[in-house]
C-alpha cells in the first residue's frame, strides 16, 4: 500500500481536526483546574489528624488510581444518566469523569508539595497569630504550588494525552477528528500517523516549556 498525504490540507484541518482539538484543549483545562482544586482538598484531608477525613480521602485516591481510566469513563457515561434521569452527553460526561479521576493524581502531587514546606514556617505562622486555615492559605499552599508546578504541568500533559480515551463514549476529540477525516478520504493509516505526529509535537513542545520553567524555579530557590 502506498502512503500519500496529498489529501491533507487546510480544508481537512478546519473541517475535521480543529473541532476535535478545541474539545481536547477544553477538556484538559477543565480537568486540570477542577482536578487541582479537588485534589488540593483531598490532599488536605489526607494530611489531617482526623481519621474520619483521612480514611475516605485515602479510599478515594487508592480506588481511582487502581482502575483504568477508560473504565471510569464508561462508568460515568452509563451510570450518571441513570442516577439523574437524563443523559448528559459524551462531552459533559467526559469533563466530569476526567476532573474526578485526575483529582486523585493531583492530590498526591499536592500532598507532596505541602509536605515539602518546612514545618518551622507553619510554627512561625502560629507564632504571629495565624490559625490553621490562614497558615495554609498564606504560607503553605503558595509554596506547595510553586514547588510542585512543574510536576502539576507534567501531569497535565499526560492528561492531554489521555483525552484520546474519550473515543470510548463517542466524544469528538482530536483523535476522533483524525479518525473521521481518515474515513472520509479512505486514508485511515495516514490520518493515524498524522494524529501521532500532532500529539508528539504538542506534548514534546509543552514538555520543553515545563523543563524551562523547572530550571527557572530552581534558580529562584
DSSP 66: T
Residue 3 lies in a domain: no
Residue 4 lies in a domain: no
Range of the structural domain that residue 199 is part of? 10-220
Q: What is the DSSP string of 196-207?
A: HHHHHHHHHHHH
pLDDT of 219 over the 70 cut:
no
Q: What is the pLDDT of residues 142-176, one digit of tens each?
A: 989 988 999 999 999 999 999 999 988 999 999 99
What CATH number is given to the structural domain containing 99?
1.10.3720.10
Contacts of 81 by beta carbon, 8 Å cutoff, 6+ apart:
87, 88
Residue 1 lies in a domain: no
Residue 125 lies in a domain: yes
Q: Which residue has the higher pLDDT, 3 or 177?
A: 177
Residue 85 lies in a domain: yes
User: How many domains does the chain divide into?
Assistant: 1
Pick the range with the lowest mean pLDDT from 6-15, 20-29, 31-40, 56-65.
6-15
| Residue from 46, 71, 47 nearest 56 by CA | 46
Residue 200 to residue 164: CA distance in whole angstroms: 13
Residue 123 to residue 142: CA distance in whole angstroms: 16
Residue 77 · residue 97 · CB < 8 Å: yes
Rounded to a whole number of angstroms, the distance between the first and last alpha carbons of the chain is: 56
Element (H, E) at 108: helix 90-116
| Residue from 27, 31, 97 nearest 64 by CA | 97
Residue 42 lies in a domain: yes
Q: What is the pLDDT of residues 72-94, one digit of tens each?
A: 999 989 888 888 888 888 999 99
Residue 121 lies in a domain: yes
Q: What is the pLDDT of residues 83-142, one digit of tens each?
A: 888 888 899 999 999 999 999 999 999 999 999 888 888 888 888 888 888 888 888 999
156, HSE (Cβ side, Cα atoms, 13 Å): 23
Q: What is the pLDDT of residues 4-27, one digit of tens each?
A: 888 888 899 999 999 999 999 999
Residue 5 lies in a domain: no
Amino acid at each position: 500500500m502506498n502512503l500519500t498525504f496529498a489529501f491533507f490540507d487546510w480544508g481537512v484541518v478546519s473541517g475535521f481536526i480543529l473541532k476535535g482539538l478545541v474539545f481536547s484543549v477544553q477538556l484538559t483545562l477543565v480537568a486540570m483546574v477542577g482536578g487541582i482544586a479537588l485534589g488540593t482538598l483531598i490532599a488536605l484531608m489526607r494530611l489531617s489528624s482526623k481519621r474520619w477525613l483521612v480514611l475516605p480521602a485515602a479510599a478515594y485516591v487508592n480506588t481511582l488510581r487502581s482502575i483504568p481510566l477508560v473504565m471510569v469513563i464508561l462508568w460515568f457515561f452509563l451510570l450518571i444518566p441513570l442516577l439523574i434521569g437524563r443523559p448528559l452527553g459524551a462531552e459533559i460526561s467526559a469533563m466530569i469523569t476526567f476532573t474526578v479521576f485526575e483529582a486523585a493524581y493531583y492530590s498526591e502531587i499536592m500532598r507532596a508539595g505541602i509536605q515539602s514546606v518546612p514545618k518551622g514556617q507553619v510554627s512561625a505562622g502560629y507564632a504571629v497569630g495565624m490559625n490553621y486555615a490562614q497558615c495554609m492559605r498564606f504560607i503553605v499552599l503558595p509554596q506547595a504550588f510553586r514547588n510542585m508546578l512543574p510536576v502539576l504541568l507534567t501531569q497535565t500533559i499526560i492528561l492531554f494525552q489521555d483525552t484520546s480515551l474519550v473515543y470510548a463514549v463517542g466524544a469528538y476529540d482530536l483523535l476522533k477528528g483524525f479518525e473521521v477525516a481518515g474515513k472520509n478520504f479512505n486514508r485511515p493509516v495516514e490520518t493515524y500517523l498524522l494524529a501521532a505526529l500532532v500529539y508528539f509535537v504538542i506534548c514534546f513542545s509543552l514538555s520543553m516549556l515545563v523543563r524551562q520553567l523547572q530550571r527557572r524555579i530552581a534558580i529562584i530557590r
